[in-house]
Amino acid sequence: MKKIRIITDSNSGISQAEAKQLGIFVIPMPFTVNGEEFLEEISMSQEKFYELLAQNADVTTSQPSQFYLEELWTEELKSYDEILYIPMSSGLSATCENAKRYAENFDGKVFVVDNLRISITQKESVMEAIALLKMGRTASEIKGYLESTKDKNSIYITVGTLKYLKKGGRISAAAALLGSMLNAKPILSSRGLKFEKYGLVLALSQAKKKMIEKIRSELQTEFKQEYDEGRMVLSIAHTKNEKEAEKFKNEVLKEFPKLSFHFVDPLSLSVACHIGPGSLALAISVNNFQTL
């Protein structure tokens, strides 16, 4: 049986410590603060990042270079026969498409998964991959499975400030000003290709209610079969909003007592660059191997 190395990136929300426990490798995603590049958890902590953000630091995102990925894969293939690489969605970053090109230089030993996941839904994919690996599946089979279930997930997120959406050009300056004056909270939704505006509310309580209502609707329609069979799971993510995230978890558990709940994770810093602190996300995704 071939030895397979699972690699993902920190956009999954999997910490370096957790990666060691799981027996996988997590690439720390690069980002820049005031023009200087850092790596999540390696050269900058979440605490320091938000401290600098509060000081109005200029933050931008980046991606692993071709040299970094090829060097990493070459080193890993000294100990493993194949690599299964699960990056963030190709719809939200060029990382995945670039990795596919780089993988062509590795004689079919690197399998790049493009299943349109990010954050807690990406983490769910990694957990399924680990389960499948334990079952003896090949890297090709795991890649095929993950890509075949790419549509079986949703993520909804409300932001704590409009500042970073405005900065990134995702909303106009006028809309940001009006939204701030009204204390409006947009709700964004994604299936991995892009984030779209799902709704606009005037209070966090309304945002949470609206996200719960949408998840309930999906469970009664497009995810009904998976839900009835106990194969859908919930998770929550946040940016520097842990207390509210834990509170939201309890509210979600009351609304969906029959669903498994998996994670309450901080969003990666490369995501936080675009939305800032105070966000709250609710995600649902398929996991056919959650009991393993």
DSSP, collapsed to helix, strand or coil, labels residue 164 as helix
In the predicted model, what is the mean pLDDT of residues 152-180? 61
User: 153-286, what's its fold?
Assistant: Hypothetical Protein Tm841; Chain: A;domain 3 (3.30.1180)
pLDDT (tens digit per residue) in 172-183: 443 333 344 346
For residue 140, count other CB atoms closer than 10 A to its CB.
Answer: 13
DSSP, collapsed to helix, strand or coil, labels residue 265 as strand
Q: Where are the domains of the chain?
A: 4-29+64-148, 153-286
pLDDT (tens digit per residue) in 12-39: 999 999 999 999 999 999 999 999 999 9
Closest CA to 177 of 165, 187, 195: 165
Range 180-186, long-range pairs (CB < 8 A, 24+ positions): 185/158, 185/159, 185/160, 186/158, 186/159, 186/162
pLDDT band at residue 190, thresholds of 50, 70 and 90? Answer: confident
CATH code of 4-29+64-148, in short, is: 3.40.50.10440
pLDDT of residue 63: 87
CA distances from 111 to 21, 100, 106 (A): 23, 8, 10
